[in-house]
Amino acid sequence: MTGHRVAVIPGDNVGPEVIREGLGVLGTIRRVLAVDLEWDSFAWGSEYYRQFGQVMPSDGLDTLSRYEAIYLGAVGDPARVPDRIMSWGLVQPVRKAFEQYVNVRPITLIPGVQSPLRIAGEIDYVIVRENTEGEYAGVGGRIHKGHPSELATQTSIFTREGVQRVMRYAFQLARRRNGKKLVTSATKSNALNHSMVFWDEVFEETSEKFADVSTERVHVDALSMHLVTKPGHFDVIVASNLFGDILSDLGAATVGGIGLAPGANLNPERQFPSMFEPIHGSAPDIAGRGLANPIGSIAAAGLMLEFLGETLAARLVRSAIEAVLREGAVRTPDLGGTSSTGAMGAEVCKKIQELASHRAEGTGS
């Protein structure tokens, strides 16, 4: 079997802290399952920008293109470098250059984690976010800076190809999930009379090719409310770049917090590397204190293993996370505990070893 090569970008503030634990998990997987997995680390981010005036080297994309996947911690240090520079210096260029047009963000309430919702019940849905155009296309500009007549424009770009392909992915995912087979489209066509009317039309056209999948269109403001009042209703939600970004943070809050949530930036055709990351930011307020929850980063490593075709390894990571959270002996402060980032990572590694041992002995799945 050809080995998997991964580019690791730990990033800034808590990024290296959570990536360290994720790599510990990958190392454990490599050892207990003999997965052929290697990685190289690149110290790109805010410190690199302060030294060299760019977030990554000029040939950074060429370097990353040689890998099968990218594992990202978090970038950003707003006290010293504006967020727009960090985002448009690394994350957005990677997503666009490598046609990572699908952003997958699972929202699942794991037993043992307390939801802030009194009516939580079962929460298990996936947000499929268009990831390369829409509101984050980067089209616009400013003129007359500093003058009373200063003007700023930001233009959303929706192409038929771009909208169709992310919707097709959402419908295919709904088929695979063995759930409700329901795709919910996040829209706002009552106000955005061009882009979202177009989005609705493409959604209807695409749904005709998936007659076995149920559909609904919900305005994004109402959808935000429903994710709080009836989260168990949803299966797959397909959304534009901006809407998907906002909804996934809201969803993460309902299942225990943003520290638990992973994300995958996918090039489904595998022509280019895909990128895996926790959806949280670099959290400079807690950096260096061992307070960050590494579960989002570890879960992102699990999504990466699944995408790489290492199904058993991905299942083992997922089962270990669930077991650790269900048992509750180790909890980081965001979950109401006092455990450190390292303690949480070590506990997941320990659980992986236990589960792998039980499997080898024929006492587990």
Q: Which residues does the chain have with pLDDT short of 70?
A: 1-2, 363-365
| Closest to 44 in 3D by CA, of 79, 4, 91 | 91
Domains with residue ranges and CATH for the chain: 1-100+270-365 (3.40.718.10), 115-255 (3.40.718.10)
CA gap 359, 313 in Å, rounded: 12
Task: Write down the pTM of the prediction.
Answer: 0.95
219 in Cβ contact with 111 (< 8 Å): no
What is the torsion angle, in degrees rounded to the nearest 10, for the CA atoms of residue 323, residue 328, residue 331 and residue 337?
170
pLDDT at 320: 98
Residue 315 and residue 334 in contact, taking contact as beta carbons nearer than 8 Å: no
For residue 37, the number of C-alpha atoms closer than 13 Å in the C-beta half-sphere is 27
Q: Of 318, 259, 324, which is closest to residue 294 (Cα–Cα)? A: 259
